[in-house]
Structure 1
């Protein structure tokens, strides 16, 4: 008779989660379906500015509250360091989830290489192309500009 191993998998889904939208929801839902416990790493304002060259619209404390309120998220933690491996040291996990816009990129290859050294799997989920925080930000910028112009 073969012995069956029950493995408890902890997943990590990092993101800025700014202007929360259905793409964020999709990543978190899919991630939770692939692990037993899901940690969402919410990138800090400073780390977002460092990585993307701009600060989020919604402050970190509010983004953390939104993400921790999602039923598929077991824990939401601020991601305050640029290294995903450092986040793994602080909050150990077995698999990291990213949008497939990272697949085949230098960032994705580095992520896969780094996590292979500690036995963490990298799983990509489809990127929601019809909506993103960048598209929402552009739409808001256009409306704000139009609304502030004199009539």
Structure 2
């Protein structure tokens, strides 16, 4: 009997876009059961220096309706190995923008110690939450300039 492979795809999933969808689609092809870890607002504030635009409960609701996802959990601690201890998975999926970075190297080293494989998928360069956030901010700036001029 073959063992079921549990995969874990953590992310903010803020301003959900095709890059998020691609990561989840590719991840599901590499495991039998896919858990999406939606990073909590407070953890994003600590790790990225800003809160998401969409609150955690709403991001979890969106991700839970993606057909590739079998389960959604809130990722409430910044330490991925601590999350692994709580959730349990065999492989973790990340965008390849992590590969070769200090964060990616630490992730690989920490998970090698507990037997979890790290798999990278292509980062969707033309669409990112950061780019979408900038676009929304520029629209806000245009709108406030129009109000001031009016």
Does 1:83 find its partner at 2:79?
yes
Q: In the alignment, what sits opposite 1:9? A: 5
Aligned mates of 1:74, 1:87 — CA distance in 2: 17
Aligned pairs, how many? 147
The residue correspondences of 1:21-36 to structure 2 (distance < 5 A) are 21-36=17-32
Q: In the alignment, what sits opposite 2:91? A: 95
- For residues 32-63 of structure 1, the C-alpha deviation after alignment (integer angstroms, 9 at most, x for no partner) is 00000000000000000101100000000000
Unaligned runs of 5+ in 1: none
- For residues 83-132 of structure 1, the C-alpha deviation after alignment (integer angstroms, 9 at most, x for no partner) is 10011011100000000000001100100000011100000000000010
Aligned mates of 2:89, 2:117 — CA distance in 1: 9
Does 1:65 find its partner at 2:41?
no
Greater than 4 Å deviation, 4+ residue runs: none
Structure 1 residue 148, shift from structure 2 partner: 1.7
Q: In the alignment, what sits opposite 2:119? A: 123
Q: Greater helix percent: which structure?
A: 2
Could you say what secondary structure the match of 1:11 adopts?
A: strand
| CA RMSD between the two structures | 0.7
TM-score (norm 1): 0.96
Q: In the alignment, what sits opposite 1:50? A: 46
Could you say what secondary structure the match of 2:103 adopts?
A: helix
